[in-house]
Amino acid sequence: MYQRGSLKKVQRKEGLTWVLRHRIKGKEQTPLVVGLVSDLPTEDQANVEVDRLGLRAEINVRNGTSQGRLKFTELAEFYLMVVTDPTVTASPMDENTMPILKHNVRDYLIAKWGSKIAEEIEPLEIQKWLVSLRTTPIKDATGRIIKDGLAWPTISKLRGTMSEIYETGKLHKKVTANVVKGVRTSSKSKYKAIKLAPAQTLSVLKRLMDDPRRFTLVFTVAATALRSSEVVSLLWSDIDWDGRFIRIEKARKKSGVDGDPKTDSSERDAGMGKVLTHYLMEWRRQTPYGKERDFVFPSLKMRGAVPISASAFVKDHLRPAALKAGVKIPDGYRFGLHNLRHSLSNWLVNKAKQDPKTVQGILGHSRIQTTLDLYADTDIESMIEAQDRYVDAVGV
């Protein structure tokens, strides 16, 4: 059986240290040193370091778990170890993406296939299972059904991840074949991001005006299309008042630390018009944390030590403000700062007829097709206008 080991804090001469406890044939072994707690404050960070160091693979090799034909659990855990290793992976998995990847691998793929020999899983079995996920009820931690089934894009992502697991196994000579090859899923999605018209955005902003921090946060995102991870990581030193731009060089990770932006193209300068400059200056005048190395949007509860929590802000303030402003948000539908990003890009392309290349730069996309496919819907008014022009030319 694959062994993950367990993390524990122990006092050593170097200081409080994370160690990985494990057993071989039922006997507890000398724990493996992971790193200092001062360098890895949270258990999640310690787990990332365990995977980076390959300690789980090491204890399973010692335990003889990896001998013979691999079970899917072992192959999948090996993949999770390799995907973060920059020495063997061209594009190591982003820190924000890893929790989602681990959830998909462990809570879906390993939960279903973990005990089976990896190379004995039949492609047809996989195909049937993936199709069944469309109608399998999804429950939360309390057992309450929260969804009737997974959407096709999510199922397609699971299929892709399972295929990557096998391809990684082939590369490292853990398996000889990819049993997912030939398995097909649909990637069609009915999801449409809720987009706000400028008047709706104004209505939302008016409901936040009694709190300058919340108002300025929403207005900054609405005017610049910054990602939530980018805007909460901003320091006052990131703003060039003379050049009238905001430097985007980092993004807040789910682990609570700042890291690289989502892609190379995400590292950019976001322009500041006169109105945005005014409100940012006004907020800096009022905030108790206005020094260069302070967060622009700090957590007041934590006395500025960390930035505001984007998810908590959306839940407690932005979503309620949008509902009061008349924005229609169906139950269970996603709505947050990202919708302001969609709203700006869609308006710029369809209403302002802005050059898509400029919109791509504003959004920080590496490919213009992403901008056009995901952030610019077909505009019915533009379609009618185009049709009328053609009919006029026909002379009917």
Asked if residues 166 and 75 have their Cβ atoms less than 8 Å apart, the reply is yes
Question: Could you tell me the two tokens for 242?
Answer: 């003379």
pLDDT at 167: 94
Separation of alpha carbons 57 and 107, rounded Å: 20
**Which amino acid, one-letter code, is at 391?**
V
pLDDT recorded at residue 67:
47
Low-confidence ranges of the chain (pLDDT < 50): 67
What is d(CA 375, CA 360) in angstroms, rounded to the nearest whole number? Answer: 10
Q: What is the pLDDT of residue 317?
A: 97
- Please give the pLDDT value at position 357: 83
pLDDT digits (tens, 9 = 90+) for 258-310: 888 877 778 999 999 999 999 999 999 999 999 999 999 999 999 999 999 99
Contacts (Cβ under 8 Å, ≥6 apart) of 233: 250, 251, 252, 258, 295, 307
Residues linked to residue 245 through DSSP beta bridges, in sequence order: 240, 271
Q: Which residue has the tokens 């008349």?
A: 326
Rounded CA separation 5/23 (Å): 8
- Give the model's pLDDT for residue 84: 79
Amino acid type, 236: W
Q: Reduce the DSSP state of residue 374 to 3 states and report it.
A: helix
CATH number of 198-382: 1.10.443.10
Identify the pLDDT of residue 311: 93
8 A C-beta contact, residue 190 and residue 157: no
Helix or strand or coil: residue 16? strand
What pTM was computed for the model? 0.63
CA distance 87 to 54: 12
How far apart (Å, rounded) are the C-alpha atoms in residues 64 and 59? Answer: 9
| Cβ atoms of 202 and 322 closer than 8 Å | no
Q: How far apart are CA 78 and CA 76, in angstroms?
A: 5
Q: Count of CB atoms within 10 A of residue 67's CB?
A: 9
